[in-house]
Amino acid sequence: MALTAYDLGDRAAFVTGAASGIGRAGALLLAEAGAVVHCADRDEVGLDETRALITKAGGTAYVHPLDVADRAQVKAALAAAGPVHVVAAIAGVMHTSSVLDTDDVDLDRVLAVNFRGVLHTCQEAARTMIAHGIRGSLVTMASGAVDSARPGLFCYSVSKAAVVQLTKTLASELGPYGIRVNAVAPGWVRTPMTDQHASAQQEQIESMMMRLSPLGTLGRPEDVAHAVLHLAADASSFTTGQILRPNGGVAMPW
């Protein structure tokens, strides 16, 4: 019974941010669980690599090059994918600046992807689920940054906090349709995105995270992907409006 609760063999999944990092790890794991996976991202080369990895492992994947900040592109991709049962809205960007140094251009860019991109994806997918009577699962990607205030992560933290509130509100509104909505808020995980924006402080940040974690370890994209699978599958059929934190037990402000 426990194993079949993670079987997605009769389902289709739509994963944004699937070209690399946590998004790719999530797409690979959902495919391993049996889902047909529709991979979406702006990075077409990365998308093709993800599809090739899924195909090589015996799974089925389709690619949808898109910018989640553009609602029309998201709507068109979901229409092309057809009815989906699982959505993992993982696409995101990071920007480092203090509150006082942030301008409207930076804030709008981060919110466009990290918040509105998740909103577009969940709205369009949920409408299709309701129209087809699908009791589906929407999984959003928040961050451990919503639980603390780290200098220099203003835009990113605010956008992820908005995702948490979106998740809870969607859960309350979509529950009557049998659609579950949950978020994953991972701790620090090395991905191409964090490599790009924190390379100068990467060693310092990772050392700090290992000290704060009772496990004394760092997370991998695959660790976060397993949280996504759990929330996508029937194993969490009584779970909605929740924030799952795969973060090595880090509870202190950082």
List the catalytic residue out of 6, 62, 156, 177: 156
Strand partners, 39: 15, 63
Q: Is 6 a catalytic residue?
A: no
Q: Please name which of 94, 75, 78 lies closest in space to residue 86, comparing C-alpha atoms.
A: 78
Residue indicated by tokens 């919503």? 146
Report, as residue numbers or ranges, the catalytic residues.
Answer: 156
